[in-house]
Amino acid sequence: MTTTNLEVIDLTPRIGSEIRTDLDTLLSGRAAATIREILEQRGVVFFRGLDIGDEQQVAIARTLGTVVQNEGENGIYKISLDETVNQRAQYLKGSLFWHFDGSLQPYPNLATLLRAVRLSPTGGQTELCNTYAAYEDLPPADKELIADLRVVHSAERSQYYVTPEMSYEEVVFWQKSPTKTCPIVWTHRSGRKSLLLGATADYVVGMPVEQSRALLARLRDWATQPQYVYRHEWQVGDLLIWDNTGTMHRALPYPEDSGRLMHRTILAGEEPLE
């Protein structure tokens, strides 16, 4: 019988665990089902000191799900705010605000793997909040209020966080990206429910605009209270994986020219969101 070498250290009561294991165990996939389970329960996990490169990152990702190949090269996409490193740096500046990945796609990503290649001397921590826990703790009146509400998500909306005074050309450019309407409450196949908010959340369908903005801000404030948040203090080589269907995340500000570089691999969503 193969024994699996896996130690799980919870970092806060509601979100985040460190998993200690060896590279062989990860590459073999024999712990994959366990890791997926921990990921769903804890929202985010990290591995320290694995000393891996891109190929091993993608190989680990493959044991956990289906690697999305349409961004980056060979399953690796470079996260940097420096336009000479990533042409879409302007869009990536939206990552400094609470969001989940793939909010504009029919199947939001299942999970994201992020590995620290180079760090910024200042800032650049990554924060994540548990949107299952935040939903579970909502007062019953709020659960009732939002049960059937739907929100329009747009790339344009998230760009107002990056550039508050966009030019006409910029507005028109971002408006070309298709919008996506989805519920505030995601009822998963498992029956568990999580909140869907974030920087792309533009307005609640059929609600007066002031009321809609106030509600979205109130729910985000709720979901990002300290008891739902884990802040990752990076070390070079750390591999962080979040359950993108039950968390939101953001990077804390760091200088664009700091050299901070993360290598990202995305696992395809397995549950549609309509």
Q: Which of 17, 57, 103, 126 binds ligand OGA (CB under 6 A)?
A: 126
With tokens 């968390």, the residue in question is 247
Q: Which does 110 bind (CB under 5 to 8 A by kind): ligand OGA, Mn ion, none?
A: none
- Provide DSSP, the chain: -PPP-EEEEESSSSS-EEEEE-HHHHHHTTTHHHHHHHHHHHSEEEE-S----HHHHHHHHHHHSPBP-SSSBTTBEEE-S-TTT-TTHHHHGGGGSSB-TTTTSSS--SEEEEEEEE--SS---EEEEEHHHHHHTS-HHHHHHHTT-EEEE-HHHHHHHH-TT--HHHHHHHHTSPPEEEESEEE-TTS-EEE--STTEEEETTS-HHHHHHHHHHHHHHHTSGGGEEEE---TT-EEEEETTSEEEEEPP--TTS--EEEEEEEPPSS---
CB nearer ligand OGA, residue 219 or residue 241: 241
101 is an interface residue for Mn ion by CB under 5 A = yes
78 is an interface residue for ligand OGA by CB under 6 A = no
Q: 239 pairs with which residues across the strands?
A: 47, 115
Q: Which does 93 bind (CB under 5 to 8 A by kind): Mn ion, ligand OGA, none?
A: none
* Token pair for 155: 């790339």
101 is an interface residue for ligand OGA by CB under 6 A = yes
CB nearer ligand OGA, residue 101 or residue 238: 101
264 is an interface residue for ligand OGA by CB under 6 A = yes
Dihedral sign from CA coordinates of 170, 210, 196, 229: positive
The residue sitting closest to ligand OGA, measured at its beta carbon, is: 251
CB nearer Mn ion, residue 95 or residue 224: 95
CB nearer ligand OGA, residue 109 or residue 212: 109
112 is an interface residue for ligand OGA by CB under 6 A = yes
CB nearer Mn ion, residue 98 or residue 135: 98
CB of residue 244 vs ligand OGA: minimum separation in angstroms?
8
The window from 66-74, 89-97, 146-154, 195-203 that contacts Mn ion (CB under 5 A) reads 89-97
Binding-residue pattern over the window 221 to 250 for ligand OGA, x denoting contact by CB under 6 A: ----------------------------x-
Q: Which of 35, 39, 68, 114 binds ligand OGA (CB under 6 A)?
A: 114
Which residues sit at the interface with ligand OGA, rule CB under 6 A? 79, 95, 101, 112, 114, 126, 249, 251, 262, 264
